[in-house]
């Protein structure tokens, strides 16, 4: 039974239903109660339908991912840098998965439902059972992501936490080095101000929610995992050199 449910969870039909329900509920919070600014979707042009990895900073558990799924669906309907009226939810882009902590995806009824939108559950690097931990690279987790990349796009958050400027996880760099996906850096801002930590409740109305997609990154795959990870963290503006001058701080001041 468990295996049958897992197979059903990966079907286009099941994911489409979840996308529609979650999309209809979340759209007003993004585009009506708050404001959305999207840039860089022109970088989606000519992307392959598989082996594309979106690496992003992380501000809430769910709102970040839901917004990215909205954007991917809108782009499928030829909308560039905008959402518009969400007719795109009638035929969503479902060839995308996102990496999420197993602990988070089991925390509530809503999170268990949202797993059907394409969650790849991994062991959290920094916290488990409410305690701070530091796990090493889990081969099982990287294999899950690699299998998803075989035929899909994948969204990952290298920091594995919503804490700004936390160190990145080596697993992301390992995937890049050994599977050579097209890597698109994503920078988001404003979500921490508009939503609570889970991203399911509004904290502030009228917030500007920004999502920027950068050009695909170029790598020398002979470089070390540490060097690749450093480049990724620079690209999503979460490395130490961005700590006091990053978009996170600048836009936080503008949004006040």
DSSP notation for 206-254: S-EEEEEEPPPP---TTS-HHHHHHHHHHHTT-SGGGTTTSHHHHHHHH
Buried/exposed code over 171-180 (b: 16+ C-beta within 10 A; e: otherwise):
bbbbbbbeee
Which domains can be identified in the chain, with CATH numbers? 2-255 (3.40.1130)
- Which candidate, 165, 157, 133, places its Cα nearest to that of 65? 157
Q: How confident is the model at residue 48 (pLDDT cuts 50, 70, 90)?
A: very high
DSSP conformational letter for 136: -
Q: CA separation (Å) from 45 to 36, 85, 88, 102, 119?
A: 21, 22, 18, 33, 25
Instruction: Report whether 93 contacts 73 (CB < 8 A).
Output: yes
* 3-class secondary-structure state, position 23: helix
CA 203 – CA 57 distance, rounded (Å): 20
Phi, psi at residue 159, to the nearest 5°? -80, -25
Q: How confident is the model at residue 54 (pLDDT cuts 50, 70, 90)?
A: very high
| pLDDT confidence of residue 145 | 93
| Ranges 103-117, 169-183, 237-251: which has the least confidence | 237-251
- Which candidate, 100, 202, 19, 186, places its Cα nearest to that of 108? 100
Q: How confident is the model at residue 196 (pLDDT cuts 50, 70, 90)?
A: very high
CA 123 – CA 141 distance, rounded (Å): 7
Q: Which residues contact 39 (CB under 8 A, 6 or more apart)?
A: 81, 210, 211, 212, 213
Instruction: Report whether 160 contacts 232 (CB < 8 A).
Output: no
For residue range 198-229, what is the model confidence (pLDDT) as tens digits? Answer: 999 999 999 999 999 999 999 999 999 999 99
Q: What is the mean pLDDT of the chain?
A: 88
Tokens of 117: 């939108």
Directed axis angle between helix 63-76 and helix 12-31, to 10°?
A: 110
């Amino acid at each position: 039974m468990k295996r049958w449910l897992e197979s059903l969870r990966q079907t286009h039909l099941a994911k489409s239903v979840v996308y529609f329900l979650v999309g209809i509920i979340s759209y007003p919070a993004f585009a009506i109660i708050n404001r959305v600014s999207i840039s860089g979707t022109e970088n989606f042009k000519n992307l392959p339908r598989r082996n594309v990895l979106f690496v992003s900073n992380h501000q809430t558990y769910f709102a970040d991912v839901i917004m990215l799924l909205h954007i991917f669906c809108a782009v499928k309907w030829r909308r560039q840098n905008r959402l518009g009226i969400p007719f795109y939810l009638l035929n969503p882009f479902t060839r995308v998965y996102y990496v999420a902590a197993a602990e988070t995806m089991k925390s509530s009824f809503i999170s268990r439902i949202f797993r059907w939108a394409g969650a790849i559950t991994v062991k959290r690097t920094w916290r488990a059972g409410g305690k701070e931990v530091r796990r090493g690279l889990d081969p099982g987790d990287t294999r899950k992501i690699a299998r998803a990349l075989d035929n899909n796009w994948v969204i990952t958050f290298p920091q594995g936490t919503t804490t700004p400027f936390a160190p990145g996880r080596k697993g992301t760099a390992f995937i890049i080095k050994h599977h050579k996906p097209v890597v698109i850096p994503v920078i988001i801002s404003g979500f921490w101000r508009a939503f609570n930590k889970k991203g399911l409740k509004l904290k502030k109305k009228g917030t500007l929610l920004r999502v920027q997609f950068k050009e695909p990154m170029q790598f020398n795959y002979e470089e070390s995992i540490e060097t690749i990870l450093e480049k990724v963290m620079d690209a999503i503006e979460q490395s130490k050199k961005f700590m006091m001058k990053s978009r996170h701080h600048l836009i936080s001041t503008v949004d006040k």
